Chain A
């Protein structure tokens, strides 16, 4: 009796008698409790990656005896040094950089030009073309990939960097995004430039394009990330080992995935190939989140 009195005096909401369950609920919904729970969950989220990092720092021989060796010294960088000896990995990294960089440049250039025209210029079939391009948003890669593969065979584009870049450059999202963005720029800016006798190309290049830099950043990050992580098209188009991208290359080299053998080496491959994108993520986190979230809603 006395105990419950004290209890109800201490409790923040004296309206209802506190049960143990009620107290747990209040602790979880209260800020400190909630954040403790969230920190624990975030550790759970990180656990798979931390486990892999741990394995990557252990010698393969030691891991053969049992993976609980992860929790004790000695640690070694040997697995990472072994990656550097696998001559292909650097080639794959370069391929990924060329393909993702080229695709990003292509998307930015073409989407900006098209977006400007759709937002500002009058020409025949403008609306019709825009609607047709928007309908392209609904076409998934799998619906076109068989025919696209045949067309690329005819053109001899398989196993070339250009062949890996071109399909990704067709994504209508860029045109849509840039059109929206150019529309948001006040027309008075063009008119002022027009009075100064600037040509259409000059207005586009010198006046409007610099204003669209935020949209360019969003679109650029999104395209680069998608290209870097793309798996399906490079898998069927790049059949020559020297033309693999990092994603396809690392996937191919783990085909002889044998139980615990070389476990440390496998783990180091996972970490190594994730490293470039993780560094980019840590630096540009805010932009990346906005870009990916914005991209998802419109695709």
Chain B
């Protein structure tokens, strides 16, 4: 966006290098993965990965960039998922992209309301107040049958996924749909964090008083961060419900999910775009690898319950180790390794 105004001769090459990796990943994701991936890879790994990445991206805007700690992510996912279900159910012929946007807007409205305490509260106190969203949304979705079209256990089923007459209900179709949504939202988010508004987020995070004195509209900026973040998390909730699980209940969006999304961005790297993806990959893939390795090595000795518990212990230990070695997350670890490799290559 700023290339034309920057007279730096380097800017072109810098930008090309910056976008080379994401572009290559997109090409692989669109053209290679659908050809080679098994439905297990798509359904058990890539679909949850995409939905969690998007949710983490949304939370990273709020927590990583704007510095507002939130434990309500799962509530905003639930708001998005149930809103999409109801819009789809109650408005005939509503196109899926419109449903997604309306669901995002609903989640944004919920997020803005529960973001109001941020005008007075900071840090852990704010985090505790966002728990209200977590409990309230889950309670409301269970309590009022209307939200789940009077399903006795509050469960909603994904509708047929049609975009412009094309069905996206196969595993590959759902994957391509989720990938497209994630790619578009991520591109817009990259633009947002590099825009003046994104810099206002960082200003509010780094020094709220200074931001106020130079004229950053602090209150509006915080609420905007809550709104945009919840929009994205809401859309992630729709992907979670419609493309990954296909059948969800309010209890699926509990506090554990909120913590998981928070841990994803802490481990992946706060205030980085790729941190959300790296962290989500870590959380989706690592347990699977561990469980495979565990059952391979000790399958005959221990039952699956023991394996499951030991898996959690290993992941917990790894998280602690990682955060001691690199508090800024895996993303920063990559940077360090890349810098070291670059130095090695630079040496004659």
Partners in one complex: no
Residues of chain B touching chain A, judged by Cβ–Cβ distance below 8 Å, are: none
Residues of chain A touching chain B, judged by Cβ–Cβ distance below 8 Å, are: none
